[in-house]
Structure 1
Amino acid sequence: MELPRSQKSLYILMLSVHGLIRGHDLELGRDADTGGQTTYVVELVRALSRHRGVAKVDLLTRQIQDPQVSVDYAQSEEDLGYGARILRLPCGPKRYLRKELLWPHLDQMVDRCLHFLRHQGLLPDLIHTHYADAGYVGQQLSLLLGIPLIHTGHSLGRSKRERLLASGRKEAAIERQFHLSRRIATEEAILSHASLIVTSTQQEVTDQYGMYDNDRSRHYAVIPPGIDTSRFSMVSRRKPDARLEGEIDRFLSNPGKPLILTICRPDARKNLKGLLKAYGEDKRLQASANLVIVAGNRDDIRDLEEAQRKILCDLLLDIDRYDLWGKIAIPKHLSSDDVSDLYRLAASRYGLFVNPALTEPFGLTLIEAAASGLPVIAPDDGGPQDILGNCRNGLLVNTLDSSAIASALNRALEDKTQWRQWARNGIAGLKYHYSWEAHVAKYIKLASHLLHRERKRLRRQHAFSLNDGKSPLPLVQRVLISDIDNTLIGCKAGLEALISWLYQRTGSVAFGVATGRSLESTIALLKKADIPIPNVLITSVGSEIHYGSQLRADQGWARHICHLWRRAALAEALHEIPELELQTLDNQREFKLSYNVKSDRVPSLESLYRHLRERKLHAKFVYSHQQFIDVLPIRASKGLAIRYLAYKWGLPLCNFLVAGDSGNDKEMLIGDTKAIVVGNYSTELESLRDMEHVYFARNNYASGIMEGLNHYGFDEIPAKQAVPST
């Protein structure tokens, strides 16, 4: 029985970025990116939303505005019922892109997700991602928000690279086409971070994830997917569609014979060539059954992608070679409803479903066939071993051997008693092992344990923090960011008053620090001064951003500032300037070079920039305290880091209040932010005195910050802001 919506609590954010995703008439097989994963994800969302403990499930995917695809994929929101919906966010170009071309745009998807969460004012309890591209986005969100990540890989880069190499492809060519190095590195990072990896089979855990360096067996859960039994059912419950029969039978000279059915994308791994060879070289098989190959939808083979075009052209050439006209059907257009009817049609004629793939991680079509009362022939590798072990509804075969495929098909077609037993077994096994109800029950149980474990961990770790593990940044309306040395620290009474002020406003005001210190030095100093770990830490003069007590790195910022940054070349060029003395190794970072200078021998910044220009190098110099020069990427600084935060978290700059005392604070103190210069400031900031939104406090250190908070009325929470556009 459904619980009232008010008694439901769990909010799950699901991410599946690539392909074409909608809640009806899924275009399965349209291309390599719109296959079983789309069915899996949409049906999982629907099944989760019906569970009595789930209040809300959002499926986030990419918005596509392209005349080559349906306008459905341009809709920003699609309701799936029971509190579930598909949300489409802009990411990269408006046109449809294959998944290998999406990677440069995934950081934008991270930002769009953050803006969406701010706009709705609610954070999820769990993030669940599908495939490596969504896994990248979800991992960044998980790190930024402090929310547990569940991941389903569907297919893995290391396995794909091994198969392609085994097929004779060159490694360089594979990398150019699929960019597998980045994908595999992302998968390693996901494995290291995710709280739970969901797989469909044990073979996936041992043989596929076992290839990875970050393989951690305690974080896996084998939960086979279910199917929609309202679509896939046994013959007696629903007769095959007469229109579909006509569409298939028009190809066949003797349509009354059993149908050998296969459904897959036109992909070399699906081994359609091997199946056609098995059928084409066995006259007994041709005499006893017709062959139906559904290899996606097409208008004109010449309009398909090169790889798909080659598969289908080879298929047609082999049909002609074996002279199979009148014995084989290769329909051009079938809807998702047609597919379910096609299973029933094959079952009504005592046919078989065959999956001839060279390897099959799971095999969703196998359980669809089982639900329809259609026995199966499947690879003896991967997921089919589990499926046929559970359902006992067919034969496993070495699909590398075409004669073995033919032999298995002949054996299955000739024994009608065995065929009926397999049909009954498949229906029974499907109900017990592969229902979405069973899948969701196990999923929710594991998710509950995960969240309970996470809450216990947070209680242990966040006593010295201003939040409970989840970042407040998506929901707060104001942010206070302060320098540490000589600004936050220096007046004990003022600091205690400021910390008390922050604790009282937890959840409405976020707290951050911006410092020239390294992250390690910053943490040590904060702990020494009994300052709680801030919600955000901008360190190394704005070249690094981290979040919360777990110090989660903002990888998007690192990728943003690496533009034109050539650290080794810069160090070599600046070594030529005798007035610059390189600081100790602990002050050097990936995106920062730090030097000491003597106040009476400081080279002009203009001469330093000219020195770099002559060598075609790009960097930014920050001079502070009349004795230090920091060298940063041109996109890095405390001020630019704060502007990046404003965009990333969807807050206008006027809702940021910044406090500082020296020259390396100057850039963050000017512009649209509200600024406080504490009373003990360095003379480098005197030029800011007459600027709007820069308040010069009379009091020193943290007492000066408190004076500035009162001056700006920072307690007054502004109205909710609109999500910024880009």
Structure 2
Amino acid sequence: MNQNNIKTKKISRVCFLNPHGYMMYPPPLGKTDTGGQTLYVLQLARALGKKGIKVDIITRQFENLPAEEKLWENVKIIRIPCGGSQFIPKEKIYESMPEFVANLLHHIEKTRKKYDLIHSHYWDGGYAGIMLSKMLKIPHVHTPHSLGKLKKLEMSIEEIPPQKLKRVYRFHVRNAIEQKIMNNANAVVVICETSRIQILQHYSIDFEKLHVIFPGVDLDFFNTKKNDNDKKIKFAKNAVLTVSRLVPAKGVDRVIDALALIKNKVNFHLYIGGGTQEANKSDEEKMTQEQLKNLVKKHRLENRVTFLGFVPHDKVLPSFYRQADIFILASRYEPFGLTTLEAMACGTTPIVSRVAGSREVIIDGLNGFIFDTHDRKALAELVLKLLTDQKLRKKVAENAAFTIKEHYSWNKIVEKFINLYKSLL
């Protein structure tokens, strides 16, 4: 479309569809079905709101959560009842989407709201988006966040019984609905080039529909400027930080194994952040945490490893990044990894697994480092190199912060979404 035509078009109000999880601010990260996607949706909505575009984040109402909640200027959460009053896991919520859409349509008619377009998230949101787009006759943009066919492949490699894959994860339903979304959405936005290639390999879709728009970072929170929180946090010298949910896919065990290889060569202290607040921990998280603590004991690293537990995202996490000398993302499977960009924005040198989508923002050796997620020795050597070469570490950290400030702030990324939205009107 002609750029002049795009400039003259105006986006007034966008409908975000994110039915599952605990959508609220601040998000209870780590709680069931509430993680990086929730954060992404909230941050994109806030960035659009700052540009004068009204965003209604439509999610499911349950557990007596309020029907409506204003978050920031131009941004609201609207909760639509469906499927009863209890929490429904994301694998099963698709069954309630027809009721969700019917009740949402009633809300739209009652409030006389007029949306310019729909932006759906994950396959439950995409399923609702197909129905709503046809009924309202407005464009539909979809962001998958993860892909059923790849998730099934990953779990099959881990030798999870096929019966469990079908019963618990409903891949036979998810994969069919995801293909339907690819067929019907006007545009599909993926968060890195790797995701675009994966969709083209595993789904049938017009190439022109696919758009790569990287996530952004909120520089109001994640930056190199120290604040009062930094003064309260005292990390040891040569601090290594990893932040994630405590589940096997995040590869924290590999970080511990790697550091054990250099424990007699350099002084260091590993800080393991993330996880859910104790009352909300899943069985998987409890088991993983216990396994990690046993691994620390096995390597006799008790005095050199600290489990930080749940870390409040906007207030405390930036200070943790700034206090650390190195940040490691060692995931076995990671569609993107927003923590990489956050750490870079705070001036922390990142070491990132080759499987993570966020590796695409790194020029190896210039603004960070990339390693083979299976190669503990290579990871150990990288950490040793950085902890013994302060000049190199400082230069890479400066380049990392510059990269995010220049190219990946939400203030800049959001313009790409606005241009895409306008091109569909």
TM-score of the pair, normalised by structure 2: 0.93
Letter in 1 for 2:272: I
Larger radius of gyration: 1
In the superposition, relative to structure 1, how do residues 132 and 28 fare at CA in structure 2: closer, same or farther (>3 Å)? same
Out of 312, 317, 321, which is 1:343 matched to?
A: 321
In the superposition, relative to structure 1, how do residues 398 and 92 fare at CA in structure 2: closer, same or farther (>3 Å)? same
Letter in 2 for 1:30: K
- Which 5+ residue runs of structure 1 have no aligned equivalent? 1-6, 67-73, 246-254, 452-726
In the superposition, relative to structure 1, how do residues 197 and 8 fare at CA in structure 2: closer, same or farther (>3 Å)? closer
1:359 and 1:379 in contact (8 A); partners too: no
Partner of 1:102: 93
Partner of 2:63: 65
The structure 1 segments of at least 4 consecutive aligned residues displaced by more than 6 Å after TM superposition are none
Once the two structures are superposed, the pairs formed by residues 30-109 of structure 1 within 5 Å of their partners are 30-31=31-32, 33-52=33-52, 54=53, 56-65=54-63, 74-109=65-100
Q: Deviations over 1:559-588 (max 9, x none)?
A: xxxxxxxxxxxxxxxxxxxxxxxxxxxxxx
Once the two structures are superposed, the pairs formed by residues 658-677 of structure 1 within 5 Å of their partners are none
Aligned: 1:22 with 2:52: no
CA–CA separation in structure 1 for the residues paired with 2:370 and 2:18: 32
Partner of 1:314: 291
Aligned: 1:305 with 2:282: yes
Once the two structures are superposed, the pairs formed by residues 384-463 of structure 1 within 5 Å of their partners are 384-389=358-363, 392-451=366-425
Aligned: 1:325 with 2:302: yes
Aligned: 1:183 with 2:174: yes
Out of 219, 238, 241, which is 2:209 matched to?
A: 219
Once the two structures are superposed, the pairs formed by residues 517-556 of structure 1 within 5 Å of their partners are none
Which deviates more from structure 2 when the two are superposed, residues 442-451 or residues 126-135? 442-451
Partner of 1:169: 160
Partner of 1:238: 227
CA–CA separation in structure 1 for the residues paired with 2:29 and 2:166: 26
Alpha-carbon offset, residue 388 of structure 1:
0.5
Letter in 1 for 2:56: D
In the superposition, relative to structure 1, how do residues 239 and 409 fare at CA in structure 2: closer, same or farther (>3 Å)? farther
Out of 212, 219, 224, which is 1:229 matched to?
A: 219
Aligned: 1:259 with 2:239: yes
CA–CA separation in structure 1 for the residues paired with 2:139 and 2:423: 12
Letter in 2 for 1:275: V
Letter in 2 for 1:26: P
CA–CA separation in structure 2 for the residues paired with 1:170 and 1:139: 32
Partner of 1:375: 349
**Any idea what SS the aligned residue of 1:225 has?**
coil
2:256 and 2:296 in contact (8 A); partners too: yes
In the superposition, relative to structure 1, how do residues 98 and 229 fare at CA in structure 2: closer, same or farther (>3 Å)? same
1:161 and 1:180 in contact (8 A); partners too: yes
Partner of 1:352: 326
CA–CA separation in structure 2 for the residues paired with 1:9 and 1:357: 38
Alpha-carbon offset, residue 240 of structure 1:
4.2
**Any idea what SS the aligned residue of 2:386 has?**
helix
Partner of 1:551: none
Letter in 1 for 2:321: Y
Alpha-carbon offset, residue 390 of structure 1:
9.6
Partner of 2:15: 13
CA–CA separation in structure 1 for the residues paired with 2:226 and 2:289: 35
Letter in 2 for 1:218: E
CA–CA separation in structure 2 for the residues paired with 1:185 and 1:298: 35
**Any idea what SS the aligned residue of 1:147 has?**
coil
Alpha-carbon offset, residue 10 of structure 1:
2.2
1:281 and 1:322 in contact (8 A); partners too: no
Q: Deviations over 1:665-700 (max 9, x none)?
A: xxxxxxxxxxxxxxxxxxxxxxxxxxxxxxxxxxxx
Identity of aligned residues (%): 30
Q: Which of the pair has the greater relative contact order for Cα pairs under 8 Å at 6+ separation?
A: 2
CA–CA separation in structure 2 for the residues paired with 1:16 and 1:212: 24
Q: Deviations over 1:403-435 (max 9, x none)?
A: 222122112222211111111111111012211
Aligned: 1:111 with 2:109: no
**Any idea what SS the aligned residue of 2:327 has?**
strand
Q: Deviations over 1:120-149 (max 9, x none)?
A: 112311100111111111111112222111
Alpha-carbon offset, residue 244 of structure 1:
4.2
**Any idea what SS the aligned residue of 1:283 has?**
coil
- Which 5+ residue runs of structure 2 have no aligned equivalent? 1-8
Letter in 1 for 2:130: Q
Letter in 2 for 1:238: N
Letter in 1 for 2:320: L
In the superposition, relative to structure 1, how do residues 37 and 16 fare at CA in structure 2: closer, same or farther (>3 Å)? same
Which deviates more from structure 2 when the two are superposed, residues 360-369 or residues 391-400? 391-400
CA–CA separation in structure 2 for the residues paired with 1:37 and 1:390: 26
Q: Deviations over 1:204-263 (max 9, x none)?
A: 101x212333232211111111111111110x4435434444xxxxxxxxx532211111
CA–CA separation in structure 2 for the residues paired with 1:314 and 1:256: 24
Partner of 1:209: 199
CA–CA separation in structure 1 for the residues paired with 2:395 and 2:231: 27
Letter in 1 for 2:34: T
CA–CA separation in structure 2 for the residues paired with 1:398 and 1:22: 36
Alpha-carbon offset, residue 391 of structure 1:
10
Out of 287, 295, 300, which is 2:274 matched to?
A: 295
CA–CA separation in structure 2 for the residues paired with 1:101 and 1:244: 41
**Any idea what SS the aligned residue of 2:69 has?**
strand
**Any idea what SS the aligned residue of 1:331 has?**
strand
CA–CA separation in structure 2 for the residues paired with 1:14 and 1:391: 38
Q: Number of paired residues?
A: 416
Q: Deviations over 1:284-314 (max 9, x none)?
A: 46x42111111312326xx732322221121
Once the two structures are superposed, the pairs formed by residues 116-131 of structure 1 within 5 Å of their partners are 116-131=107-122
CA–CA separation in structure 1 for the residues paired with 2:255 and 2:167: 30
**Any idea what SS the aligned residue of 2:302 has?**
coil
1:391 and 1:425 in contact (8 A); partners too: no
1:391 and 1:428 in contact (8 A); partners too: no
**Any idea what SS the aligned residue of 2:362 has?**
helix
